[in-house]
Amino acid sequence: MATIRQVAKHAGVSIATVSRVINNSPAVTDEVRAKVLESVNSCGYVPNVGRRTTSFIALVYSGPSSLGSPYDAALLEGMVQAMDLTDLDLVILNPSRDKRPDESYTQFFLRKGVRGAILRSTVEGRQICRTIADEKFPAMGIGDHFEHPTLAFAYADSKTTSRQAIEHLITLGHQRIAFAANEHEDGDHVDRYAAYCEALDGAGIGIDRSIVYRVPARRVNGAQLLRNVMSVPKPPTAIYVTDPPIAMGLINEARNLGMDIPRDLSVVGFDDNDSRNFVFPKMTAVCQDARQLGHEAFIELARAIEAGNGERCQHRISSSWFEINNSTGPPPVKSVGILPDGTRLEAVGP
């Protein structure tokens, strides 16, 4: 466990200067500050008092908390299970609340006694993730993933399985397949949309942008989505909904409108945990285990911290899988439509 003295030696400055950098005193040149912060991270410095040592891993979120979502809840459950296998504790931090504008993230984390960060990333928050990674503070990204030279992510690849899902629909005979995703585009959704396009392309089906939807990832938006989808001039016969709450909301709304899934509409959903089992009919879905993602992010971060010497985190990429259940079937013989007011239409001819 490095002390301020070792950091000072490593950086070739006095302990007073190291202290000033840690406490963000303005009386330090940018050059010296950068050199010291570099040493802080490469020595794995962490403040301690007597025998007591702060050993926290931070779950960092930015913007409004989504911790109640099934995805985040499962992530957290996995992290807490992993926590029990280490001697690190998990603290939840929101830098936008009390990170001072003039301090770096490393300084912010040191002030909190944090030794590594799990970044619950979103597309909006990518810049924060990049900044933290650029400071070389130990970190794992989760939730969103993107190219970065030093930031590692824990995620499940859902591109191949998304392609399987669309091919499954095509094999069943569907030609008009809609796509819906969270309005917040992230690495996973980019992959899923790419898979959708490639699968349609491979089958010689053109992409119709009018049945590609972006909606907020909430149940009520899934309900509204169904009404929108079914009221276009030529409604799709199948849809791939890449977010669990949207898929659940859509399936329940179908029953409210008197539709039968999969007879009137085939639905491939997405499941981060267990959602597919909570709707009727049990949802055909691309599935990932968010609990495991949280677990792996925590363990990998703990490993890098314990190793010390500025050891980097590695990517932890797990597998998703495509599970055929009861919400998909052949396309309807008669095409079905629903007017905005809920009136049900059935075409007379094919």
**318 - beta bridge partners?**
156
**Exactly one of 77, 103, 134, 306 binds a copy of itself (CB under 8 A); which one?**
77
For residues 251-270, which are near a copy of itself according to CB under 8 A? 252, 255-256
- List Cβ neighbours of 112 (8 Å cut-off, separation of 6 or more): 54, 56, 58, 91, 93
Name which of 74 and 336 has its Cβ closer to a copy of itself.
Answer: 74
Closer to a copy of itself by CB, 51 or 209: give it: 51
E strand segments, the chain = 48-49, 52-53, 56-60, 89-93, 114-120, 139-142, 152-157, 177-182, 212-215, 238-241, 266-271, 284-287, 316-319, 321-323, 336-338, 344-346
Query: Between 56 and 155, whose beta carbon lies closer to DNA?
Result: 56
Among left, alpha and beta (phi > 0; psi -120 to 50; other), residue 155 is beta
Task: State yes or no: residue 317 binds a copy of itself (CB under 8 A).
Answer: no
The yes or no reply on residue 13 touching DNA (CB under 7 A) is yes
Nearer to DNA, 52 or 209 (CB): 52
Return the one option of a copy of itself, DNA, none that residue 317 interacts with (CB less than 5 to 8 A, by type).
none
Closer CB to DNA, residue 9 or residue 184?
9
| Three-state secondary structure call for residue 171 | helix
> Which of 60, 58, 76, 75 shows the shortest CA–CA distance to 116?
58
From the CB of 166, what's the least distance to a copy of itself, in Å? Answer: 26
Under rule CB under 8 A, which residues in 292-311 are in contact with a copy of itself?
none
Q: Which residues pair with 155 in a beta bridge?
A: 317
Rounded Cα–Cα distance for residues 336 and 217 (Å): 26
Give how far Cα 164 sits from Cα of 55, 171, 200, Å: 43, 10, 11
Residue 10 lies near DNA (rule: CB under 7 A): no
* Contacting residue, 45, 56, 108, 270, with a copy of itself by CB under 8 A: 56
Of 318, 303, 316, 317, residue with least CA distance to 138: 303
* Residue 54 φ/ψ, nearest 5 degrees: -80, 130
Contact string 78-117 vs a copy of itself (x = CB under 8 A): --xx-xx--x-xxxxxx--xx------------xxx----
346 binds, among a copy of itself, DNA, none (CB under 5 to 8 A by kind): none
Radius of gyration of the chain (CA): 24
Nearest Cα to Cα of residue 165 among 251, 85, 266 = 266
Q: Which of residues 52-91 bind DNA (CB under 7 A)?
A: 52
Spatial distance between the Cα atoms of 210 and 245, rounded to a whole number of angstroms: 22
Instruction: Please report how close the Cβ of residue 16 comes to DNA at its closest, in angstroms.
Output: 3
Residue with tokens 């992530």: 75
Q: Does position 198 bind a copy of itself by CB under 8 A?
A: no
Query: Which CB, 55 or 162, lies closer to a copy of itself?
Result: 55
The option from DNA, a copy of itself, none interacting with 112 (CB < 5 to 8 A, set by class) reads a copy of itself
25-44 residues in contact with DNA (CB under 7 A) are 26-29, 31-32
**262 preceded by cis ω (within 30°)?**
yes
Q: Using CB under 8 A as the criterion, which residues of the chain lie in contact with a copy of itself when the complex forms? A: 23, 47-49, 51-52, 54, 56, 61, 65, 67-70, 72-74, 76-77, 80-81, 83-84, 87, 89-94, 97-98, 111-113, 219, 248, 252, 255-256, 273-274, 277-282, 291
Q: Using CB under 7 A as the criterion, which residues of the chain lie in contact with DNA when the complex forms? A: 3-5, 13-20, 22-23, 26-29, 31-32, 47-52
